[in-house]
Amino acid sequence: MLRLLTVVAPIAALSPVYAEAPLHATKLTSVSPAHCVAAVERGEGADLLRCPTPLRLAIADAQVMCREAGGKLTGAAEGDVWVIDVNADRRNELMFALEGNLTCSDANLFSCGTVRCPRALYELRDGMWTVVGNIAAESPEQVTLGTTQAADGHRSLEVCASDRCKERSIYQWVGSRYEAAP
């Protein structure tokens, strides 16, 4: 039986059924901006599964802006936060926009009008979450890892706005952040 497995494994690796599919962003279903807002208001730590650190920090800043505008900050019960490992370090980076996750009563602070706000892409660097790009996409399935890889392991990102992908946006890793390719 061991011999059979030895023969089958290499065949399976070559089969198109087992070919690696494009890796795309995935929505985190556990995130709750409402939980984050409540934790920030109470001045307490938040459950990291429901309120990842970059979102909590963005919410703390948004709360100050909203209060200064005379409004009250509220968070969506279910978040719109995506993950994707852009640099093969086996740690997911996070992508989100405040629009769709937060609202400020009496002030239209987080809306980008008729177009969707780009999503900030956060990467953990030296223990700090840092924005390394702003990616324009409406759903996580539209964002896939590209074929180009920088020397430090960061892959290009491709955004396809439709199923047939007539128009594709490419984001290249340029030194320390993603930039839209011309």
Domain assignment present for 31: yes
Helix axes 53-68, 33-42, angle to 10 degrees: 70
Domain assignment present for 177: no
Q: CA-CA distance, 176 to 22, in Å (whole number)?
A: 24
- Expressed as residue numbers, the domain containing 101 is 22-137
Give the count of domains, the chain.
1
Domain assignment present for 113: yes
Q: CA-CA distance, 96 to 32, in Å (whole number)?
A: 12
In this predicted structure, what is the pLDDT of residue 23? 87
Domain assignment present for 164: no
- Helices (H) and strands (E) in the chain — how many of each? 3, 11
Domain assignment present for 44: yes
> Which residues, 6+ apart, have CB-to-CB distance to 2 below 8 Å?
none
In this predicted structure, what is the pLDDT of residue 1? 41
Name the pTM for this structure: 0.84
> Which residues, 6+ apart, have CB-to-CB distance to 22 below 8 Å?
144, 145
Domain assignment present for 127: yes
**Averaged in consecutive runs of 10 residues, what is the pLDDT profile of the chain (182 residues)?**
38 36 85 96 90 95 94 96 95 95 90 83 95 94 93 94 76 96 88
